[in-house]
Amino acid sequence: METALRKTGIAAVGDIPWGTHLCHFYETQRDLLDTVVPYFKAGLEHHEFCLWVLAESLTEQDARSALRRAVPDLDRYLAERRIAMLPHDACYSTSGAFDLHRVMHGWYEQLALALAEGYAGMRATGDAAGLDRQDWKDFSAYEHALNASMNTHRMIMLCTYPFAMCSAADIFDVARAHQCVMAKRHGEWEVVETPALKQAKTEIQRLKDELEQRVVERTMALQASEERFRRYFELGLIGMAITSPAQGCLEVNDELCTILGYERHELLRMTWAELTHPDDLAADAAQFQRVLAGAIDGYTMDKRWLRKDGQVIHSTISVKCLRLADGSVDYFVALLQDMTARKQLEVQLRETQKMEAMGVLAGGIAHDFNNILAAIMGFTELAQRAMVQASPAWEYLHAALMAGHRAKDLVQQILTFSRHTPPTRQPLRLHLLVQETLRLLRATLPSTIDIRTALHTTSGTVSADPTQLQQVLLNLGSNAAHAMYPLGGVLEVGLDAVDIPSLGAHPPGSPEQGRTFLPAPPGAESSPSALPPGPYLRLTVQDTGAGMSPDVTARVFEPFFTTKRPGEGIGLGLAVVHGIVTSHGGTITVASAPRQGTTVTIYLSRIADVSPIGDHAEEPLPRGDEHILVVDDEEDLAHVYRDMLASLGYEVTVYTRSPDALATFLAAPQVFDLVITDQTMPSMTGDILIRQLWRIRPDMPVILCTGYSPLIDAESTDTRKIDAVLMKPVTVEDFARTIRQVFARRSAPQG
């Protein structure tokens, strides 16, 4: 039994099942049209093929006019052959007599054609007004046969009879051949249904109600399941996407939008390939094709993506497919874990390990280089002291000695940087450091870059770590050179004193008046609002390079953010610069615009002008006459130390092997007043030698000299045990002052 009820369009009848045989007794043509017109209107609206066998008294034109008033699109339906109108004799009496079998065969043939063309079924109507009385018996038999056979077919039949041609017996006979009989008497409808029709309608309604209840329950279950899935989908633990076999995004969660930087509606218009890093397209596509081919149902791989802002996102992605009954892929579910932070940490770890390896390498080089440098500087200083001051040769030796000091400082900077030691602050005249750094930078930059300076030597002093500030300048200079590659340009470095908040015009006649800088890019700041009022030094590094967009400028200090190509940098330079400046209590600002260059401005607090460390007035070197034991495995250094100490009045005993020195000390420990020993020596290192000496004479003063040792340096040595540590190369002045300080501390009252 068909469980769907069909609309009759006749209010008095309502909905009926397929296979219903209706009968309508009418008095006037108006009564006929009031039933047939809504009956066909409902059929057309519900995609049923309609066949109207016209009453003898009703012309096709009248039928069309009546139906068109209810169905404005009637002409379209007629053109599409969704409704057909046949004259009475064309259906019932083509051969002059009524043929029951021909008529029934005609109905079912029309039904088969309608179903083949995709219609839901067929509804028809026929009128008995044109029948001859001699055909009445056959027509009645036809009605009974049709009524018995059509209940299993997708067809509804409405038979119309004029009251005028029917006797009481005819009416009863007709009624028995139909499931539903209706008539309008005195303006009111009377409808009689057979028990079978009533039962069918009741059963269908019950099934319909049951089906609707099941649909409601199933819908609620699906909604609950969908809500659970939606909550899981939007938990935000990982990025999730559902994609089509064509790699289009069907659904994405909020976490994926966050990871990739797109709005949901943007991702739903994009394909997987558009989001994938170009270098990973081939590998991902190969796995995808294997799933489509049925070789695998899913895969996991490391994959890179391109965020909306251009940033590369590293991820681990797991993809699974859901297949249809025929084995083809219905859709894919992808889980994406953002691994960018982990990758950055891995890069940072590798860089840290690289720096540690560089530190070890630098230490080894520094030890050997410092020994060589110590001999060069020692002999140079001895030669200078033996000459008349201000003679040409003395001046040459003085210049060589100053170069040696610069080399010594450079080695110390390398060691300090490689060991990541805490910054050592000291009063620093910044213009001297800038000049020295620019000399180093000039040697590394191409000749297409013109370095200009506007440094005011009276700008003042800051408390800073010179090594770290030199690193700041080198990084900024390197970035500026990269921005001007390959055409070159101008790199201008400026330094002046400013007072916050009064950073405006300089008073007439001041040293700052008359400075000329390159035009600043749009947005360049004159003063950072975050700094408290007070005196500052302002250091500016300005280039005429490609410049940066506002989006890039806003991110220049982020660790690992870089606009350089792979292999040209990892994005730590400006992050380190920012860290150094802020650790010094300063502020750094960047102003830039595309094709208008970049200006970096650094503000450091200015301190009272004091003599920086290393500025000593000329004064005689302190001397002595004590007996000193010197131990160093480098023969040249041992001889230099002997002559240096002898020039200061000391009695000196020198050994190049620590076991020999220990044997001499064991033989006469009270002979010596002080021991000066190297740290890194074969057979016995300096710290082991010192412990052996202290076993014999615990009060023995000791000075340790070292070119480099990861265990002992001037900052980390326990001075309660070793009296002093001197970092090679050592000058006569270093020995003179340190030795007297050691003896002074030893002789001072202990309290």
For residues 525-547, average pLDDT? 78
- 511 part of a folded domain: no
For residues 326-354, average pLDDT? 84
**Is pLDDT of 362 > 60?**
yes
pLDDT score for 532: 80
For residues 702-714, average pLDDT? 69
- Same domain? 23 vs 143: yes
- Same domain? 578 vs 675: no
pLDDT score for 2: 52
Contacts for 75 with CB less than 8 Å, ≥ 6 apart: 68
Stated as kind and residue range, the H or E segment containing 377 is: helix 340-385
**Is pLDDT of 611 > 60?**
no
- 379 part of a folded domain: no
- Same domain? 669 vs 740: yes
- Same domain? 38 vs 154: yes
pLDDT tens-digit readout, 453-511: 998 877 788 888 887 888 888 888 888 888 888 888 999 999 999 988 744 433 333 33
State the chain's maximal CA–CA distance in angstroms.
Answer: 162
Q: Which residues pair with 51 in a beta bridge?
A: 84, 124
- 363 part of a folded domain: no
pLDDT tens-digit readout, 421-452: 555 678 888 888 888 888 878 877 888 889 99
CATH number at residue 450: 3.30.565.10
Q: What is the DSSP string of 433-451?
A: HHHHHHHHHHHHS-TTEEE
Residue where a domain stops, chosen among 283, 314, 338: 338
Alpha carbon distance 354, 464 (integer Å): 27
- Same domain? 311 vs 438: no
- 283 part of a folded domain: yes
- Same domain? 581 vs 688: no
- Same domain? 639 vs 600: no
> Would strands 239-243 and 312-323 be described as parallel, antiparallel, or unpaired?
unpaired
Q: Which residues pair with 84 in a beta bridge?
A: 51
Residue where a domain stops, chosen among 193, 224, 258: 193
Contact status, residue 445 vs residue 486, Cβ threshold 8 Å: no
CATH number at residue 684: 3.40.50.2300
Alpha carbon distance 112, 158 (integer Å): 19
User: Distance between alpha carbon 281 and the CA centroid of its chain, in Å?
Assistant: 18
Establish whether the linkage from the previous residue to 729 is cis, with ω within 30° of 0: yes
- Same domain? 28 vs 80: yes
Q: Which of 464, 493, 463 is nearest to 477 (CA)?
A: 493
pLDDT tens-digit readout, 283-337: 999 998 999 999 999 999 999 999 999 889 999 999 999 999 898 999 899 889 8
Of the ranges 102-106, 552-556, 573-577, which is most confident? 102-106
pLDDT score for 510: 35
pLDDT score for 665: 94
**Is pLDDT of 667 > 60?**
yes
Tokens of 671: 């002979």
pLDDT score for 612: 47
**Is pLDDT of 89 > 50?**
yes
- Percent of the chain scoring above 70 in pLDDT: 83
Q: Which of 714, 715, 704 is nearest to 681 (CA)?
A: 704
Contact status, residue 600 vs residue 588, Cβ threshold 8 Å: yes
pLDDT tens-digit readout, 579-606: 888 888 888 888 888 888 899 999 999 8
- 613 part of a folded domain: no
For residues 146-175, average pLDDT? 87
**Is pLDDT of 169 > 90?**
no
Contact status, residue 701 vs residue 675, Cβ threshold 8 Å: yes
Q: What is the domain extent for residue 93?
A: 5-193
Q: Which residues pair with 420 in a beta bridge?
A: none
**Is pLDDT of 615 > 50?**
no
**Is pLDDT of 386 > 80?**
no
Q: Which amino acid is at 345?
A: L
pLDDT tens-digit readout, 214-225: 888 888 877 777
For residues 134-138, average pLDDT? 82
Chain mean pLDDT for the chain: 82
Q: Which residues pair with 158 in a beta bridge?
A: 22, 125
For residues 710-723, average pLDDT? 55
- Same domain? 603 vs 542: yes
- Same domain? 46 vs 169: yes
pLDDT tens-digit readout, 718-738: 444 788 888 888 888 889 999
pLDDT score for 279: 92
Domain tally, the chain:
4
Establish whether the linkage from the previous residue to 427 is cis, with ω within 30° of 0: no
- Percent of the chain scoring above 90 in pLDDT: 30
Q: Which of 409, 445, 421 is nearest to 541 (CA)?
A: 445
- 110 part of a folded domain: yes
pLDDT score for 418: 55
CATH number at residue 323: 3.30.450.20
pLDDT score for 131: 77
Could you give the count of Cα atoms lying within 13 Å of 77 in the half-sphere of its Cβ? 23
pLDDT tens-digit readout, 178-215: 888 888 877 778 877 766 666 666 766 777 777 788 88
CATH number at residue 154: 3.40.50.300
Residue where a domain stops, chosen among 607, 641, 658: 607
**Is pLDDT of 516 > 50?**
no
Q: Which of 302, 355, 320 is nearest to 242 (CA)?
A: 320
